């Protein structure tokens, strides 16, 4: 009688090796094939180290598409990407599936930075064409990190680490970026990591503060609410701009902890304001991709005992569109509890009118790029006027951001803009300074003990 093992088909040693070195989904080589190719090239060029280049490419926005259309559609896109890459890489080059939605390359005849950048541009263009999913087409971009042997490392692991460092810098700069590793970039990334560690420590120590900028009624300057703005002064680094540390927290995956700390502090401060004043707070794109965001926000408000109807969340069009379905659910859940939603930086996106149709907002904030030129640029004046009229027709509140001059405020009032904020009405201030501001502007309405 035969054993069960003899019933299995015989697999040759070559077939086993091919399986071990291949990606089962796309048929490309895998990380092991990449490793062996790099080591072979390095050995061939050890005596006379002529350069060669490796690259890691990451598909931008693949996860939201995968989540929206399903894993099968995601696999189909990955297979189409692999097919395009096979067709476009030059003779002698190797392309592999590195990990998930990342692909890796070896270019034996790319010797320097300009050649690597040209190669990246060519592949980026190839990958940017629409992908056919049967009943729909989708578009993707890709980001690239290049590392050149031996300058970026002589061992496989060092070259890959350098390429990943370059790729990470590309991702930080936005979609479709190309970066070739250099010592300067390595130093920049090292500084970012040091900044990350300092920020994590500050979040744990509750050392990131909240300042507040007044939002006023333009007709009479009455205070209607405050926007909460993050502020961080590190003992060693000094003042660090929120435009630096907030995106860093988002990139490194701890924006939720930072945001929860800031919202708690802001809500606690708002409890001591007159009860008719609202608190405006910014949400990041990462939070609008997290299905747990609504519960986390409402839980924080409940712990502080701030009425959700006093909270207004500011979101950008870019953040909304990063994961539209999830964002829609978050917005719907929050509005059901009385939280207001404002569309921030209105006018700077590519399809803001579509967002007003697809999502339910309570307020629109006109971007400072238009407000700052309203008295000197006729086009900006007409754009602001059109936004105000449109919001009135859609029953949306509207706020002008970045009002810094008396003339700007007067022009906005003449155009019928009801609310605004900016240095002309008040710079961001500490909680204590906010109390003094309110005592000057609304002394009769300050709550007892404030």
What is the reported pLDDT for 355? 62
- Is-contact 267 279, C-beta < 8 A? yes
Strand partners, 266: none
Under 8 Å between Cβ of 167 and 145: yes
Predicted local distance difference test score (pLDDT) of residue 17: 66
**CA–CA separation, 339 vs 316, rounded Å?**
16
Do the domains 9-181 and 194-445 sit in the same CATH topology, yes or no? no
182: number of Cβ within 10 Å:
18
Which residues of the chain, if any, have pLDDT below 50?
A: 1-8, 350-351, 444-450
- Topology of domain 194-445 in CATH is TIM Barrel (3.20.20)
Evaluate whether 396 touches 357 at the Cβ level (below 8 Å).
Answer: no
* DSSP symbols for 264-315: HHHHHHHTTS-TT-EEEEE--TTGGG-TTHHHHHHHHHHHHT--GGGEEEEE
CB proximity list for 67: less than 8 A, separation 6 or greater: 323, 325, 326
E strand or H helix that includes residue 158: helix 156-173
pTM over 0.95: no
The DSSP bridge partners found for residue 212 are 228, 429
- What is the CATH number assigned to the segment(s) 9-181? 3.30.70.270
Q: Which helix (H) or strand (E) holds 352?
A: helix 352-358
| Cα–Cα–Cα angle for 241, 277, 413, rounded to 5 degrees | 80
pLDDT of residue 445: 45
Question: What ranges do the domains of the chain cover?
Answer: 9-181, 194-445
What does the alpha-carbon distance between residue 349 and residue 356 come to, in Å, rounded to a whole number?
A: 12
């Amino acid at each position: 009688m035969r054993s069960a093992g003899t019933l299995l088909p015989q697999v040759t040693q070559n077939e086993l090796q091919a399986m071990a070195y291949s990606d089962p989904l796309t048929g490309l080589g895998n990380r092991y094939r990449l490793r062996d190719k790099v080591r072979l090239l390095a050995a061939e060029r050890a005596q006379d180290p002529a350069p060669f280049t490796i690259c890691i490419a990451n598909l931008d926005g693949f996860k939201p598409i995968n989540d929206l259309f399903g894993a099968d559609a995601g696999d189909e896109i990955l297979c189409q990407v692999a097919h395009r890459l096979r067709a476009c890489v030059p003779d002698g080059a190797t392309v592999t599936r590195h990990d998930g939605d990342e692909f890796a390359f070896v270019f034996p005849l790319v010797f320097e930075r300009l050649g690597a950048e040209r190669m990246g541009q060519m592949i980026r263009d190839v990958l940017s064409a629409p992908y056919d999913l049967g009943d729909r087409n989708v578009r993707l971009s890709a980001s690239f990190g290049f590392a050149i042997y031996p300058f970026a490392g002589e061992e496989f692991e060092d070259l890959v680490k350098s390429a990943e460092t370059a790729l990470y810098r590309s991702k930080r700069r936005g979609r479709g970026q190309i970066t070739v590793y250099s010592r300067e970039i390595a130093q920049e990334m090292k500084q970012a990591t040091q900044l990350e560690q300092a920020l994590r420590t500050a979040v744990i120590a509750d050392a990131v503060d909240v300042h507040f900028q007044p939002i006023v009624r333009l007709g009479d300057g009455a205070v209607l609410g405050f926007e909460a703005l993050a502020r961080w002064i590190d003992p060693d680094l000094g003042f660090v701009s929120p435009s630096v540390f907030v995106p860093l927290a988002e990139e490194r995956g701890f924006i939720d902890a930072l945001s929860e700390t800031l919202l708690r502090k802001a809500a606690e401060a708002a409890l001591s304001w007159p009860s008719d004043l609202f608190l405006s707070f910014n949400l990041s794109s990462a939070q609008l991709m997290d299905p747990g965001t609504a519960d986390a926000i409402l839980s924080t408000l409940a712990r502080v005992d701030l009425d959700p109807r006093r909270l207004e969340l500011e979101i950008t069009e870019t953040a909304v569109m990063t994961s539209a379905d999830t964002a829609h659910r978050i917005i719907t859940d929050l509005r059901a509890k009385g939280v207001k939603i404002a569309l921030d930086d209105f006018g700077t996106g590519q399809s803001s009118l579509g967002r007003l149709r697809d999502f339910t907002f309570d307020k629109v904030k006109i971007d400072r790029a238009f407000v700052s030129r309203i008295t000197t640029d006729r086009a900006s004046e007409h754009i602001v006027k059109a936004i105000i009229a449109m919001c009135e027709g859609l029953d949306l509140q509207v706020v002008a951001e970045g009002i810094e001059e008396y003339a700007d405020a007067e022009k906005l009032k003449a155009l019928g803009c009801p609310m605004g904020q900016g240095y002309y009405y008040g710079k961001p201030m500490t909680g204590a300074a906010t109390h003094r501001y309110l005592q000057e502007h609304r002394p009769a309405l300050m709550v007892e003990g404030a």
